[in-house]
């Protein structure tokens, strides 16, 4: 007796994305994830709200998490010689992410992030990413690959100018 392979989606219907998952699916970091994989990642994300002008993190603090802008706006400033936030290096809106090096190392932050208007952020802590690597290595590897691609794109664009839209990489992601 031969049994044909029938995809589960055909038996149970396609999984509909919640509005939050649909927003996360638009983030380049999660672009390669299936709805089921995205749902697993969403279970590890923490939601935080910030008021206008509230500091998300300061330069010099230990990086512990990557942040995804779900709503609102965040500005990133590079400190001046005295440690004060000076040069704005990025303004980030919904779909952007920043602080991504924190998933990879324990080094201090090199910039300050501040909500320029009320902001809703999803926070992906390094400890949760490490847990994902242990429990769902395939999902974690997809995220790590996208992270590496984004970092490579930023390096190339910072050395050779803007992207296809004419904006430098730092204007989209940090």
Supply the range of the domain harboring residue 78: 17-159
- Better-predicted residue by pLDDT, 81 or 119: 119
Residue 11 banded pLDDT, cuts 50, 70, 90? very low
Answer yes or no: is 2 within a domain. no
Domain total of the chain: 1
Kindly calculate the radius of gyration of the chain based on its CA atoms and give it in whole angstroms. 18
Q: What is the mean pLDDT of the chain?
A: 85
| Any domain includes 22 | yes
In a domain, 86, yes or no: yes
DSSP the chain: -------HHHHH-PPPPPHHHHHHHTSGGGTT--HHHHHHHHTT-EEEEE-TT-EEE-TTSBP-EEEEEEEEEEEEEEE-TTS-EEEEEEEE-TT-EE-GGGGT--PBPSSEEEEEEEEEEEEEEHHHHHHHHHH-HHHHHHHHHHHHHHHHHHHHHHHH---TTSS-GGGT--
| Res 4 pLDDT > 70 | no
Residue 94 lies in a domain: yes
Residue 1: the pLDDT is 45
84 confidence band (pLDDT: 50, 70, 90): low
Is 78 domain-assigned?
yes
CATH number for the domain spanning 98: value is 2.60.120.10
Residue 159: band (very low, low, confident or very high) from pLDDT cuts 50, 70, 90: confident
Whether the full predicted model's pTM is greater than 0.85, yes or no, is no
The answer to whether position 172 is within a domain reads no
Instruction: Quote the CA–CA distance of 86 and 61 in Å, as a whole number.
Output: 17
Whether the pLDDT of residue 100 is over 80: the answer is yes
Tens digits of per-residue pLDDT, 24-34? Answer: 999 999 999 99
Instruction: Provide the percentage of residues in the chain whose pLDDT is more than 90.
Output: 61
List pLDDT tens digits, range 23-77: 999 999 999 999 999 999 999 999 999 999 999 999 999 999 999 999 999 999 9
Tell me, yes or no, whether 5 lies in a domain.
no
Q: Is the pLDDT of residue 164 over 60?
A: no
pLDDT greater than 50 at residue 81: yes
Q: Which pLDDT band holds residue 14 (cuts at 50, 70, 90)?
A: low
């Amino acid at each position: 007796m031969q049994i044909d392979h029938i995809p589960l989606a055909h038996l149970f219907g396609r999984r509909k994305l919640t509005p939050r998952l649909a927003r996360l699916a638009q983030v380049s970091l999660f672009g390669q994830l299936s709805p089921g994989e995205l749902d697993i990642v969403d279970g590890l994300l923490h939601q935080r709200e910030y008021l206008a002008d509230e500091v998300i993190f300061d330069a010099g603090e230990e990086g512990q998490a990557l942040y995804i802008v779900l709503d609102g706006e965040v500005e990133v400033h590079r400190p001046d010689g005295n440690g004060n936030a000076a040069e704005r290096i990025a303004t980030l809106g919904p779909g952007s992410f920043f602080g991504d090096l924190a998933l990879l190392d324990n080094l201090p932050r090199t910039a300050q992030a501040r909500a320029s208007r009320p902001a809703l952020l999803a926070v992906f802590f390094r400890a949760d990413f490490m847990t994902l690597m242990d429990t769902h290595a395939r999902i974690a590897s997809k995220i790590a690959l996208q992270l590496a691609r984004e970092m490579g794109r930023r390096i190339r664009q910072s050395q050779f100018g803007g992207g296809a839209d004419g904006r430098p990489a730092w204007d989209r992601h940090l």
